[in-house]
Structure formats: C-alpha cells, structure tokens
Amino acid sequence: MFLFFISLLLIQKIALASCPVGEVIPNDVNIDLVFTTFGAQESPRQCTTSTDDLELPLQIEGCYPVGGNPEYLVVRAKRAWNNKCFKDPSATFTVKASQFFIMTSQDAHDLKTCNAAMPESIEKQKEIETVKVLYEGRDNPVGLLINDINAAENSLKSVEEIEKYNSCIARQSGQSERDNYKESFRFFFEAASVDFGVPLSLMNCLCGRESKFDHKAANGSARGLCQAMEGNLSDINRWIQKVPELKSSWSSYLNRISKYSSPSCRTDKLTQSKIMECPELAVGAAAVYLVYGYSRIEGNGSMRNNIWNSHELSSMIAIGASYNVGVGTAMKAVKRARGRSGWDRALLQQTCDDFSSVKFNEVRGHIVSLRNCMVQGSWLDHQGKLMKGNCVFADDEEKEFHLALAKKYENSLPAKISCRK
C-alpha cells in the first residue's frame, strides 16, 4: 500500500493507451472545463472552477481523439451540476486528460478505504523524495512507478531488480563489462512499456533471454534484439496500419524515443534488416506482438481498447511463451488447461502436439527462464543456477528457500513427453 500512496502523491498525469470508458477519476481542488467543437480549428475555451460542490467521483464516458492517447475526457457526474461555467446545470462535461490520474474502479475503492491512513504532510514529502531518488534520471518516473506497483502486487521483480538481474546475467555469460541493456536499450524498453502497456519485466526477461541484448543477434530465421521472424514483422506492419489504437501508440512511441533515435529509424515499415540496424524498432515490434498475444489469450480477441490488466506470473509465462511457440498454439493450450495454474503444463503438451521434441525442450527452457527472471527475490540464472557478483542471496536460508521454489516449479513441468513429430 506504500507504493499506492506514493503514486497518488506523485502522479499528476498519465498517457493512456486507449479510452478507459466506465472507469472513474479522482479530482484535485480545481479542474479546467473545456468548451470546443472537436475537429474545429479554433482553440478550446476553458473555464477553471472548484469541485467543492460536485459529487465525486466522475465516470469516463468517452475520449477525444478516439484512438491512442486522448487529450480530452468526456465525464459524467452523479447528478446535474449547477456551476458558473454552465448556462444550465449539466451532468456531463469535458476536461483535459492531463489533469487526472486515471484509476480503475478497484483503485477508487482502495483510495476511499485508505484515506484515513494517509501520513502527515512531512511524511508525504519524505515519500516523494524517496520516489525521486528511486527513479532519478528516468524520463518517465510515473510509468515506472505504476509498473513497480503492479509488480509488487504479483511478487514480480521491480525495475531496479530487473536491471540488476540483466547486468548479472551479462557478466555470468562472459559478456564485456559494458552493460548493453542499461547503457543502450533501457529507455526503449521503458518507453514501449508506457506506450503499449506491456509489463516491463515481461519485455526485459523475454528479449534478454532471446538475444542476451545483442541487437545484431541472428539465430536460425530470427533476427535482432527480440529475435523477430520476418512473417511476424509483416503482421506487425499490418496491425500498426489497420488498428487505430496501435497506430497511435506506435506514433507516440516513436515521438517518445526521438531524442535517442536517428531519423532513419522513425518508421512503421519493419523488416529484419531494419530492426537490426535500429534496436528501438525491435523493442517496439516485440511490444506490439505481446499486445497481440495478450488480446488473444487474456483479452477479447481484439487489439482495440485492450488494457493490460493481468500481471499474474501464469499469464506472463503464457504470453511470453506465445512469443516463442506462436499465439495459436498458446491459445489452444489455455483452452485445454484446467485453470491458470495449469497453463504452463498445457503449453508444453500443446507444443509437443503441434511441433517436435526439439521445440518442446526449447519452450520448456523458455518457460523456466522467464520464471527465474521475473519472480521477485530470485537470483537464479536462466537455467536455475546460482549467479555471482551483486546477484546473490542475503543469507543461506533465503538461498535455500528460492532454490527449493525453483526446483519445485521445474519439477512440476513435464520433463519429457513422447511427441508426435
């Protein structure tokens, strides 16, 4: 709950990947009402007013623009509001999206129940300073804070822990002391996580496993930082053009990374040669494909208005494995499984049915790797072995605890299946 308090104190605005119709927003003392005809050339007329006599919370009814990151929110109050800004009382009005932190209904409930526990002003300031230090030098501390809140609630590694893990993996595998992820690619992953809504731990662990953060990596027919196939890139090109929300998110992503990217890399025409030249495009492409996987496995089947709500490890592993084995195979596995706890085992059985024992072993290693990388407090490498350097356990008791958990998880997966091919 500590991080939740900090988020309410620190966050003033947040970029939205889609329009969260039906959700609620809390308010500050004043809001700016907007009066305009959307699409018209004239600038919107604004009226600043207090919310003291307005019954909260407000519910979102729509957004403008419709796709991507909305600039304005159309909201509804519980009853008509008699205010100086209106000629007649009105229950619906338009406000700037940048004024608000958009919360889910559950967040709103948590806020109401926890208001009484808010610390005094001096304690609030201490918490704010703690967050500033934690995310010092980051371009988007708000997005990282929200990522860490979701991670903590699901016992996954924080941003700081993921960076530490990646650094230790690089040294474990004999790479140079130069930390490729932190020095070259960190900002791209963080930006993609914000603009596409993909959990940062999943993107980092997936691409770190695929290429060891070598943006020129080539394995079989896969290329680049996140090992994209040419066929998948063709699909991603089509989705970016045809799905308005993805098109808007892609544009926002390119704008966000522009100061770190060369002009030749700001494109929506993706090829294998291009993503090897421009690793930022490889990261963006991976985010789009993970959005597709989420929409099919956890969402409603459409990539429109899909907000990534599930941060459970079982969901992460299924969607991460779909990147390796294909979304079609992952979907069949999820349907045949008896509940979430069986998704990983069903994925391996389905891989065996659809492919060969070679692919089965590959996906099994992929699943174990994702689990070790994402789980909070685990400092085991991709194969479940102890790491050196900074990535060591605090004491023997903690070490034995995580070794036992990792072993138990790996033993729960089928070690060998007689595949059809």
pLDDT by residue for the chain (421 residues), tens digit each? 344 333 433 333 333 445 666 666 554 445 666 655 444 444 556 776 666 666 666 777 777 665 555 677 777 776 777 777 766 677 777 777 666 544 444 443 443 344 334 344 555 555 556 666 667 777 777 778 888 888 888 888 988 888 888 888 877 766 654 567 777 888 899 999 888 989 888 999 999 888 888 899 999 899 999 999 999 999 999 999 998 888 989 999 999 898 888 889 988 889 999 999 999 999 999 999 999 999 888 876 777 666 676 778 888 888 999 999 999 999 999 888 888 888 999 999 999 999 888 899 999 999 999 999 999 989 998 888 898 777 888 888 989 999 999 999 999 998 877 776 6
pLDDT number for residue 15:
38
Q: Enumerate the β-bridge partners of residue 50.
A: 30
What token pair was written down for 31?
């809001």
Same domain, 113 and 230: no
Q: Is 138 exposed, middle or buried, given 0-12, 13-18 or 19+ CB atoms closer than 10 A?
A: middle
* Sign of the alpha-carbon dihedral angle for 162, 133, 259, 305: positive
Residue 195 and residue 96 share a domain: no
In a domain, 153, yes or no: no
Q: In 3D, which of 332, 330, 336 has the Cα closest to residue 367?
A: 330
- Candidates 106, 89, 127; CA nearest to 20 is 106
Q: What is the pTM of this model?
A: 0.70
Distance CA 381, CA 165 (A): 8
Say how far apart CA 193 and CA 191 lie, in whole Å.
5
Same domain for 283 and 334, yes or no, is yes
Distance of CA 60 to the CA centre of its chain: 22
Query: Do 172 and 50 fall within a single domain?
Result: no
Q: 108 with 249, same domain?
A: no
Q: Are residues 176 and 224 in the same domain?
A: yes
101 belongs to a structural domain: yes
Q: Is 59 helix (H, G, I), strand (E, B) or coil?
A: strand
| Residue ending a domain, choose from 120, 135, 169 | 120
Question: In angstroms, what is the C-alpha Rg of the chain?
Answer: 23
> Domain containing 319 — which CATH number?
1.10.530.10
Q: What is the DSSP letter of 183?
A: I
Length of the chain: 421
Q: How far apart are CA 41 and CA 73, in angstroms?
A: 19
| Beta pairing, strands 72-81 & 58-64 | antiparallel
Cα 185 from Cα 194, distance rounded (Å) = 15
Number of domains in the chain: 2
Print the domain residue range for 335.
Answer: 160-412
Q: Residue 155: inside a domain, yes or no?
A: no
